[in-house]
Chain A
Amino acid sequence: MAATAVAVAYVVSYRLTDVDLGRLANGLSTMGGWAAKAWPPTAREFSVILQRTGETVAIALIGTTLAAVIALALCVPAARNLTPAWYLRLPARLVLNTLRGVDSFVFALLFVAAVGLGPFAGMLGIAFHTSGSIGKLFAEAIEGLPPGPLEAAELTGASRLKTVSYAVVPDALPSLASVGLYMFEFNIRSSIVLGVVGAGGIGQQLRNSIELLDFPRLLTIVLVILVLVTVIDQFSGRLRKSLA
């Protein structure tokens, strides 16, 4: 019964995605032609490319940091062991799920309309979506803490704020930092794409190059992006290992 349903889903989806191997073959050979024209990569206007790449990193950095601040505020009411009251916890979870559910890209589009083209819209898009993802991960990290130390702190007669600050933060901090770094890595890649809709960063350059069929420039940009992503991943990965 289930197997049939799955089979049907696949058949229908295959039709809907308009798969056409002939078109793929043609397209690949066209791209092959482009690849030939792309070499060697050009150093023309390299400073502009670097500037836009810097913008991309800035969008990811500020956006992720702002997201972490928002998430910190929301994760305490969202964690079951800190907030047993469902009427506080469920709304917090709902907000987090909504933020997480709407992609950075969609938020960025909305913000471009609201605050204009440029990296500010991109940063806000990243911040809003990421706060949902980070908030959920933060809440789960907190829920995974051993209950004993928190109970011990509560029983000294201290207030909620003091016990959370004292007993939760030190043990949760490494997980929280690790989550933040992971999302920063992820957002570098997200921010690259945002430029395509005018929300700042290298994405705009990428799109221009393709539309103008300027393949050497396209290759340059792709190489710069590869280097950026590799460097960030390495750096962030090492930091996260040292936190474990």
Chain B
Amino acid sequence: MTPTPALSAPTLEVVNLSHAYGTRNVLDGVSLGVAAGEVVAILGTSGAGKTTLFRCITRLVHADTGSVVLGGQDLSGLEVGELRRARRNVSLVFQQFNLVRRLSALDNVIAGHLAELPTWRVVARRPGPAVRADALDCLDQVGLADHARSRADRLSGGQQQRVAIARALAQRSRVVLADEPVSSLDPSSSATVLAALRSIAHSERIAVLCNLHQVELIRGFADRVLGLRSGKLVVDVAASDFDESHRALVYGEREPSPRP
């Protein structure tokens, strides 16, 4: 399977991104970078700007200032056609999974190939044996090969999200953006889903940027942790270094008093 067009420097970089809704500064000078194979978690309260950040990165929202650089290519100034091509390099995992309910798990994963498949194959619903085999392989990587033929809406939440991850994998993007992927799931399913995400990040050298709602989830999952608060980046540390003081910075609790 040919990967999406090679990028010179397969990382995601956000440079000084700012965006305001009316007078409210939702993002304020946010800069970050994600390397290939790295899992970066973003923490923050609701309204801290996590979702806006993602929408600016995918250019669903056009940020006021700053730029997003994907593999050396600046996404900010792209025209519709070029933006479409650039989007192939970013795949998304959503909180609500966003699978097509009536399609099987396998057909949902095949959607990862939507951009590169010829139109007639998509309309006639004949993706071809190579794409099918690849989709099955992606499902296998998230442990769901047995459920390939099951209808998406008959799967559990955790299973649906893993199908979504398989879909992101099938897209052969260099970056995966996961927007609160486990907020709708119970703790056990959350653990399975995050493990799947981490596994494909490391095995496929994909840069993963993941919004998380709960601090506890970063353990065993993230390589690095970022913290957003009121649109500003207040924390940027390796996961192993993340401690109470960082947590307080992100969630605005009182700073712990220094020990004597």
**Residue A33 CB within 8 A of the other chain:** no
Instruction: Identify A149's interface contact among B58, B100, B117, CB under 8 A.
Output: B100
CA distance A151 to B93 in the complex (A): 12
Chain A residues engaging chain B, CB cutoff 8 angstroms: 148-149, 151-153, 155-159, 161-163, 165-167, 170-171, 173-174
Residue count of chain B within 8 Å CB distance of chain A: 28
* A residues in contact with B84, CB < 8 Å: 157-159
* Least CB distance, B109 to chain A, in whole angstroms: 12
* A residues in contact with B94, CB < 8 Å: 148, 152
CA distance A153 to B101 in the complex (A): 13
* B residues in contact with A148, CB < 8 Å: 94, 96-98
**Residue B103 CB within 8 A of the other chain:** yes
* A residues in contact with B115, CB < 8 Å: 156-158, 162
Q: A156-B87, A156-B91, A161-B119 are in contact. Are A166 and B99 (CB under 8 A)?
A: no
The answer to whether B114 touches A166 (Cβ under 8 A) is: yes
* B residues in contact with A163, CB < 8 Å: 114
Known: A162-B115, A171-B102, A174-B102. 19 other contacts (CB 8 A): A148-B97, A149-B99, A149-B100, A151-B98, A152-B111, A155-B58, A156-B91, A156-B114, A156-B115, A157-B87, A157-B88, A158-B114, A158-B122, A159-B84, A159-B119, A161-B123, A162-B114, A162-B122, A167-B111
* Least CB distance, A104 to chain B, in whole angstroms: 32
* A residues in contact with B99, CB < 8 Å: 149, 152
* B residues in contact with A151, CB < 8 Å: 60, 98
* Least CB distance, B29 to chain A, in whole angstroms: 26
CA distance A235 to B84 in the complex (A): 46
Chain B residues engaging chain A, CB cutoff 8 angstroms: 58, 60, 84-88, 90-92, 94, 96-103, 111-112, 114-115, 117, 119, 122-123, 171
The answer to whether B100 touches A170 (Cβ under 8 A) is: yes
Nearest chain A residue, comparing its CB with the CB of B173: A156
* A residues in contact with B87, CB < 8 Å: 155-157
The 4 closest A-B pairs by CB, nearest first: A157-B87, A148-B98, A158-B114, A152-B98
* B residues in contact with A158, CB < 8 Å: 84, 114-115, 122
CA distance A155 to B60 in the complex (A): 9
* A residues in contact with B92, CB < 8 Å: 152, 155
Q: A156-B111, A162-B117, A166-B111 are in contact. Are A171 and B90 (CB under 8 A)?
A: no
CA distance A151 to B114 in the complex (A): 13
CA distance A157 to B92 in the complex (A): 11
**9 chain-A/chain-B pairs, Cβ below 8 angstroms:** A149-B98, A156-B171, A157-B85, A157-B86, A157-B115, A158-B115, A167-B100, A170-B103, A171-B102
* Least CB distance, A9 to chain B, in whole angstroms: 47
CA distance A159 to B88 in the complex (A): 11
* B residues in contact with A157, CB < 8 Å: 84-88, 114-115
CA distance A173 to B125 in the complex (A): 14
Nearest chain B residue, comparing its CB with the CB of A147: B98
* A residues in contact with B119, CB < 8 Å: 159, 161-162
